[in-house]
C-alpha cells in the first residue's frame, strides 16, 4: 500500500497544506508518526495551515490520534489548522481524540539506591521472622483450640493430604534415596579401598543415612514437592478470595486449610524418612555387593555392629520437626500471596527456598544438641 506518502506537505506563500492519503490505520501508524513529526518540525509557525483528508480512505484511533497530534503541534505554534475533507463518520472519532490526554504525566517511579535497598532487605528479613513466629503462634493456638473440641478437626481433609504428600511421594522418594545410597557406597568403596578398609563403607553408609542423609534428602524433596504445592494452592485460593469467603462465613482459615496440611506432613514425613532410609541402605548394600564384593550377609552383620538404635532415632526424631517447618513456611507464604500471578510465583519460590534453608539450619542445631547429650 502507499505507505510512501501518507502525508504530503506543500507550502504556498504562508499557508502550509498537509494532504493525507490512503490508510491512516494501526498498520501504518509507525510511518505516519514519522511523517507527522517531520511535518511539524519542517514547517513550524505557519501563518495558516490546512489539513486535507479527502483522500484518506480509512482512519482508526491511531490515525485520529496522530492527526490530533499534528493539529496540536500547529495550534501550539499559534495557528489553528483547518481540517477539511474528513469523512463524516470519522468526525466523532476525532472529537473523541481531541478530548483525550493532553500529554498526561505518568507519576515518576521511585528508583531505589543500593543502600536503600539493603536497608529495605534487612527490614524485610526482620518482618519475615516476626511473621513466621506469628504464624507459628497462630498454628499452635489453633491446634490447642481444636484439642479442646476434637470434633472440629478435619480428619478427612488430613487423610486426603496424607495421601497426596505421603503415599504419592513414595515412588520418587524410594528412587532418589536408592540412588543416593548407591553413590555414597561407591564413593566410600573407591576411597577406602586404598587402605584396604572397604568394609568400613558399611559403617559410613549406615550412620550417615540413618542420622543425616535420610531425613535431609526426604525433607528437601518434600519441601520442593509438597511445600510448593501447598503455597500454590493456598495462594490461588487467596487470589480468588476463597480464603476471605471462609473467613466471613465464620471459619478460621488456619483451622480449615493450614492445620490439616501441616499435620498431614508431620505424620507423613517420618514415614517417608523411614522408607527413604531403608531404600538408601538397600542401594548401598547392593552396590557394596556388586562393586565392592561385600556379600549381603557380611553387609548385614557389619551393619548390626556398626549402628545402634540411637542412630535410627536421631534421624526419625528430626523428621516431624522438619515437617512442621516445611508446612508452616509453605502455608504462611501461601496466605501472603497478593492479587497477581507474579506474586503467586514469588511466594512459591520463597516458600521452597526458605523451607530448605530452615531445614538445613535446624539439622545443624539438632546435630549440636545430639552431640551434647551423647546420642
Is residue 267 involved in binding other proteins (CB under 8 A)? no
- Could you tell me which residues are beta bridge partners of residue 9? 18
Footprint on residues 95-154 left by other proteins (CB under 8 A): 95-97, 99-101, 104, 106-107
Q: In angstroms, what is the minimal distance from the CB of 38 to other proteins?
A: 13
Distance CA 328, CA 342 (A): 22
Distance of CA 218 to the CA centre of its chain: 22
Is residue 343 involved in binding other proteins (CB under 8 A)? yes
Give the CA count within 13 Å in the CB-facing half-sphere of 132.
18
Distance CA 181, CA 175 (A): 10
Binding residue for other proteins, selected from 1, 2, 42, 92, defined by CB under 8 A: 92
Choose the binding region for other proteins from 14-22, 94-102, 272-280, 349-357 (rule: CB under 8 A): 94-102
Is residue 242 involved in binding other proteins (CB under 8 A)? no
Is residue 75 involved in binding other proteins (CB under 8 A)? no
In the bound state with other proteins, the residue whose beta carbon lies nearer, of 305 and 342, is: 342
Choose the binding region for other proteins from 39-47, 56-64, 171-179, 181-189 (rule: CB under 8 A): 56-64
Residue 249 in contact with residue 143, Cβ under 8 Å? no
Is residue 88 involved in binding other proteins (CB under 8 A)? yes
Edge-to-edge strand list for the sheet holding 15-24: 7-12, 15-24, 48-59, 82-84
SS3 helix, strand, coil % of the chain, rounded to 5? Answer: 75, 10, 15
Greatest Cα pair distance in the chain = 111
In the bound state with other proteins, the residue whose beta carbon lies nearer, of 146 and 239, is: 239
Distance of CA 31 to the CA centre of its chain: 41
Binding residue for other proteins, selected from 41, 89, 111, 194, defined by CB under 8 A: 89
Choose the binding region for other proteins from 81-89, 115-123, 203-211, 280-288 (rule: CB under 8 A): 81-89
The counts of H helices and E strands in the chain are 15, 4
Is residue 349 involved in binding other proteins (CB under 8 A)? no
Choose the binding region for other proteins from 24-32, 154-162, 227-235, 310-318 (rule: CB under 8 A): 24-32
Sort strands 7-12 and 15-24 into parallel, antiparallel or unpaired: antiparallel
In the bound state with other proteins, the residue whose beta carbon lies nearer, of 311 and 336, is: 336
In the bound state with other proteins, the residue whose beta carbon lies nearer, of 308 and 340, is: 340
Is residue 338 involved in binding other proteins (CB under 8 A)? yes
Binding residue for other proteins, selected from 38, 76, 85, 301, defined by CB under 8 A: 85
Is residue 236 involved in binding other proteins (CB under 8 A)? no
Distance CA 239, CA 35 (A): 46
Is residue 340 involved in binding other proteins (CB under 8 A)? yes
Footprint on residues 25-54 left by other proteins (CB under 8 A): 25-27, 29-30, 33, 53-54
Is residue 84 involved in binding other proteins (CB under 8 A)? yes
Identify the sign of the CA torsion 144, 147, 151, 155. positive
Distance CA 261, CA 275 (A): 21
Q: In angstroms, what is the minimal distance from the CB of 24 to other proteins?
A: 11
Residue with grid cell 491446634, as numbered in its chain: 143
Q: Which uninterrupted H or E stretch holds 342?
A: helix 341-372
Residue with grid cell 511539524, as numbered in its chain: 40
List residues near other proteins by CB under 8 A: 25-27, 29-30, 33, 53-54, 60-62, 65-66, 69, 83-97, 99-101, 104, 106-107, 239, 338-343
Amino acid at each position: 500500500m502507499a505507505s510512501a506518502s501518507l502525508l504530503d506537505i506543500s507550502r504556498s506563500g504562508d499557508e502550509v497544506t498537509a494532504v493525507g492519503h490512503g490508510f491512516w490505520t494501526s498498520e501504518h501508524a509507525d510511518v505516519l508518526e514519522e511523517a507527522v513529526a517531520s511535518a511539524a518540525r519542517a514547517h513550524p509557525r505557519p501563518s495558516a495551515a490546512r489539513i486535507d483528508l479527502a483522500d484518506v480512505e480509512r482512519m482508526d484511533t491511531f490515525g485520529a490520534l496522530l492527526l490530533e497530534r499534528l493539529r496540536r503541534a500547529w495550534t501550539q505554534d499559534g495557528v489553528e489548522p483547518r481540517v477539511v475533507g474528513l469523512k463524516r463518520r470519522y468526525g466523532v472519532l476525532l472529537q473523541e481524540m481531541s478530548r483525550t490526554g493532553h500529554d498526561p504525566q505518568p507519576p515518576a517511579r521511585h528508583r531505589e539506591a543500593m543502600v536503600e535497598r539493603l536497608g529495605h532487605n534487612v527490614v524485610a528479613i526482620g518482618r519475615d521472622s516476626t511473621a513466621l513466629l506469628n504464624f507459628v503462634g497462630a498454628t499452635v493456638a489453633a491446634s490447642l483450640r481444636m484439642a479442646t473440641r476434637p470434633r472440629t478437626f478435619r480428619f478427612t481433609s488430613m487423610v486426603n493430604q496424607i495421601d497426596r504428600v505421603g503415599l504419592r511421594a513414595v515412588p520418587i522418594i524410594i528412587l532418589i534415596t536408592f540412588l543416593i545410597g548407591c553413590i555414597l557406597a561407591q564413593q566410600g568403596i573407591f576411597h577406602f579401598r586404598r587402605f584396604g578398609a572397604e568394609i568400613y563403607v558399611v559403617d559410613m553408609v549406615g550412620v550417615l543415612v540413618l542420622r543425616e542423609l535420610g531425613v535431609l534428602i526426604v525433607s528437601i524433596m518434600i519441601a520442593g514437592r509438597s511445600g510448593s504445592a501447598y503455597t500454590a494452592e493456598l495462594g490461588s485460593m487467596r487470589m480468588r478470595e476463597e480464603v476471605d469467603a471462609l473467613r466471613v462465613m465464620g471459619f478460621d482459615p488456619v483451622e480449615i486449610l493450614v492445620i490439616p496440611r501441616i499435620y498431614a506432613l508431620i505424620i507423613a514425613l517420618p514415614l517417608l524418612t523411614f522408607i527413604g532410609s531403608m531404600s538408601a541402605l538397600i542401594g548401598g548394600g547392593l552396590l557394596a555387593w556388586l562393586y565392592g564384593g561385600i556379600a549381603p550377609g557380611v553387609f548385614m552383620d557389619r551393619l548390626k555392629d556398626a549402628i545402634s538404635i540411637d542412630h535410627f532415632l536421631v534421624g526419625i526424631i528430626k523428621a516431624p520437626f522438619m515437617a512442621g517447618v516445611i508446612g508452616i513456611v509453605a502455608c504462611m507464604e501461601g496466605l501472603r500471596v497478593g492479587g497477581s500471578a507474579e506474586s503467586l510465583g514469588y511466594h512459591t519460590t520463597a516458600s521452597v527456598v526458605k523451607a530448605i534453608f530452615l531445614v538445613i539450619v535446624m539439622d545443624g542445631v539438632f546435630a549440636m544438641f545430639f552431640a551434647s547429650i551423647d546420642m
